[in-house]
Amino acid sequence: MNEAILTTHNLCKRFGAVPACSHLSLTLTPGELHALIGPNGAGKTTVLNLLSGFITPDSGSIFLAGRDISAIPVHGRAALGLARSFQLISLFDRLSVEENLAIAVQARSGTSFRFLGDAAADRRLREPARRVMARMGLKGCGRVITGSLSHGQRRQLEVAMALAIKPRVLLLDEPMAGLGAGGSQRLQELISTLKGRLSILLIEHDMTAVFSLADRITVLVRGEAIAAGTPDEIRRNPEVQRVYLGEEAAAC
């Protein structure tokens, strides 16, 4: 196996009496798509918030390409190549799609303490932004105000934003939430085109998507990783079936 790009070591976080994450040791290898699944309230989003720096762990540490990033703030981690999407779509709603992506591109193009050039005319920002647009199925939407996009397009843009900062590691928090079958299918295809080029940690409730996309899966229940392995291993794991997959199957 390749050397890990992102690892957590004994990561712990409690909210009051509730353990949202306990002694989690995850490993993400380069080019891997690693899915994090678990029932609601299992602490999946907490893990993502810990990794991206929005919350600080009670104990444990996080390494990005061998470097301890536990004490680095959100923007610093992003600058090191750790990008994330949000479960609740978080965009610049009053700006156009191209402006959204151009701002993201700008975040990785050197210092932004540049005061005089016209950013809207800057080809070094516009062209990469358009490339990401084309790649994420948003071609032709450049001038559309983000707030008026359809939900599906907003989901696509949410992933595109993370992609536009050219990350090494992509953290996706339920990118398909609220999508219909068609939209879900489209986004699944888009994500599969990213596979292998960067390392992706995916949180998703859509099990069809998870099992077809993931190289490995970790199952989280009450903040604890109860199982980890390939999709086949996870599908056959009796404990996983009992606490999670079975529950959902029974509910259906």
Partner 1 sequence: MALLFLLPPVATRLGGDYLVSLAGRILIYGLAAAGLDLIVGYGGMVSLGHAAFVGIGAYAVGIFSYAAAESTTVLSWPLTIPGTENALFTLPLAMGLAALFGLVTGIICLRTRGMYFIMITLAFAQMLFYFFVSLEIFGGSDGIVLINRNRLPGIDQESDTTLYYVCLVILLLFLFLGGRVVRSRFGRVIIAGRENEIRAQALGFAIHRYRLVCYVIAAATAGLSGGLLANHTGYVSPDLMHWSRSGEILVMVLLGGMGTLVGPVIGAAALLLMEEFLAMFTEHWMVILGPVLLAVVLFGNQGLYGLWKGITEKDERGDTDDT
Q: Which residues bind partner 1 (CB under 8 A)?
A: 52, 54, 73-76, 78-79, 83-84, 86, 90-95, 99, 102-104, 106-108, 112-120, 122, 125, 161, 165
Q: How far is the CB of 62 from partner 1 (least distance, A)?
A: 16
CB of 147 or CB of 180, closer to partner 1: 147
Q: How far is the CB of 128 from partner 1 (least distance, A)?
A: 13
Contact 194, 107 (CB under 8 A): no
CB of 159 or CB of 217, closer to partner 1: 159
For residue 88, which amino acid is it? L
Instruction: State how far the Cα of 185 lies from the Cα of 192, in Å rounded to an integer.
Output: 11
Q: How far is the CB of 185 from partner 1 (least distance, A)?
A: 26
Contact 8, 171 (CB under 8 A): no
Q: How far is the CB of 92 from partner 1 (least distance, A)?
A: 4
**Residue (of 41, 114, 105) closest to 78 by Cα position:** 105
CB of 61 or CB of 96, closer to partner 1: 96
For residue 157, which amino acid is it? L
CB of 33 or CB of 129, closer to partner 1: 129
The distance of Cα 39 from the centroid of its chain, to the nearest Å, equals: 18
CB of 42 or CB of 125, closer to partner 1: 125
Give me the residue label for tokens 């050219």: 166
3-state secondary structure of 103: helix
Which residues neighbour 153 within 8 Å (Cβ) at sequence distance 6 or greater?
138, 141
Instruction: State how far the Cα of 74 lies from the Cα of 55, in Å rounded to an integer.
Output: 9
Q: How far is the CB of 88 from partner 1 (least distance, A)?
A: 10
CB of 119 or CB of 245, closer to partner 1: 119
Q: How far is the CB of 247 from partner 1 (least distance, A)?
A: 32
Length of the chain: 252
Q: Rounding to the nearest 10 degrees, give the CA dihedral for residues 92, 95, 96, 100.
A: -40
